[in-house]
DNA sequence: TTAAGTGCAAAAGCTTTGCGGGTAG
DNA sequence: CTACCCGCAAAGCTTTTGCACTTAA
């Protein structure tokens, strides 16, 4: 699929003296193939089928390394487990408040947001992310009205 | 401080047949007084000084109840622990990527964002939240350049 | 009396860490 | 040889849950 991305990231790691091991390559391929913003455990279950002896610790360590290097991103999400995103270009997300699903959202108008003026706080903004919260199709179909629990 | 909010929320609970116990009142006051988007444990430590026998479980249950009723909100945040926000009006956040601090951000231009067209996905957007990510003043002062680890 | 809230302790879920062995440069 | 990675197991932290007791309608 995105073998191009995989190769680029491999070079990026090697340039920093970080070996691009089999585990790291397959974890990367796993994150890139799972489009639904997977948890570390979901990545593990995807990758362990190709490396039977794989350890969860390796997956957690590897994902952390990738996030630190900017190869993947961690999602800001209220759920219990951290969720990862293979995309590192600026984009936005739809978040279903019922089932916690996350979908990618591309919208040129949202990309062109004005930078807020935070100079008074001394805060230096580097990136704007928009979260559009609401109800996804599946949840609306299964429970059309907003009954309480 | 915001005794007005506290009273309103008390009535809101009672209207739904949910007792506004001492614990619930003090947990609410705790969340409202902590301006830095506290974790459940931070709320617990704040409130336990006023109710010595207070249990963490009660704080977790109470915060969950409040969030479900819309009295407080859960923050979308990549950190390990869930963080809460006493504000329920639409507003935005500054997130420090170094220390994970969260600051409120009010910006009229961000409030006026265009709703993305998600009709093709069947996703019904109810709220837009903007996360401005970057580096806060304290972190910039302590480590001006972006050295790696 | 019935329903619900609370505290306690245990369990559950997610993540990190120490260590020993292995592997590549 | 050296440094780093990996798997394993244990520990750590956050959150949830079962149970008994209490409280209030």
Residue B65, nucleotide of least CA–C1' distance: C5
Mean of the per-residue pLDDT values for chain B? 92
Instruction: Give yes or no for residue B59 having a pLDDT over 90.
Output: yes
Instruction: Note the pLDDT tens digit of each residue in A8-43.
Output: 999 999 999 999 999 999 999 999 999 999 999 999
Q: Hey, are the CB atoms on A116 and B135 less than 8 Å from each other? A: no
Distance CA B80, CA B78 (A): 7
Burial of residue A14 (CB within 10 Å: 0-12, 13-18, 19+) is exposed
Instruction: Give yes or no for residue B5 having a pLDDT over 50.
Output: yes
- pTM for the model: 0.91
State the DSSP H helix or E strand holding residue B64, giving kind and residue range, or none if neither. Answer: helix B56-69
Rounded average pLDDT per 10-residue block, chain A, 149 residues: 89 94 97 96 97 96 96 93 94 93 93 91 95 94 58
Cβ atoms within 10 Å of A49's Cβ, excluding its own: 10
Mutation target vs B (from A18, A132, A133; most B CBs, 10 A cutoff): A132
Tokens of A54: 């794989």
Instruction: Note the pLDDT tens digit of each residue in B8-55.
Output: 999 999 999 999 999 999 999 999 999 999 999 999 999 999 999 999
Report the range out of B59-73, B106-120, B129-143 with the highest average pLDDT. B59-73
State the DSSP H helix or E strand holding residue A25, giving kind and residue range, or none if neither. Answer: helix A22-33
For A71, residues 6+ apart whose C-beta sits below 8 A from its C-beta are A9, A12, A13, A28, A88
Instruction: Give yes or no for residue B142 having a pLDDT over 90.
Output: no
Q: How far is CA B73 from CA A94, A113, B11, B67, in A?
A: 17, 24, 18, 5
By CA distance, what is B117's nearest residue in A? A107
* Bridge partners (DSSP) listed for residue A133: A95, B127
Mean pLDDT of B66-88: 95
Note the pLDDT of residue B145: 56
Mean pLDDT of B94-100: 92
The label of the residue with tokens 């704040």 reads B46
Instruction: Give yes or no for residue B147 having a pLDDT over 70.
Output: no
Q: At what angle do helices A40-48 and A22-33 cross, to 10 degrees?
A: 120
Strand D nucleotides within 7 Å of a protein CB: 4-10, 13-18, 24
Residue A146 with chain B: CB contacts under 8 Å = none
């Amino acid at each position: 699929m995105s073998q191009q991305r995989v190769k680029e990231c491999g070079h990026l790691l090697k340039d920093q003296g970080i070996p691009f091991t089999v585990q790291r390559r397959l974890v990367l391929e796993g994150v890139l193939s799972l489009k639904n913003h997977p948890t570390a455990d979901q990545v593990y279950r995807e990758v362990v089928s190709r490396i039977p002896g794989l350890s969860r610790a390796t997956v957690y360590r590897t994902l952390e390394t990738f996030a630190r290097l900017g190869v993947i991103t961690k999602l800001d999400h209220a759920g219990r487990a951290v969720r990862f995103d293979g995309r590192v270009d600026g984009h936005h997300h739809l978040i279903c408040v019922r089932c916690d699903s996350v979908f990618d959202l591309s919208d040129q108008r949202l990309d062109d947001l004005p930078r807020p003026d935070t100079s008074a706080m001394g805060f230096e903004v580097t990136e704007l992310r928009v979260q559009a919260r609401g109800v996804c199709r599946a949840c609306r179909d299964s429970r059309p009205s907003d009954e309480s629990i």
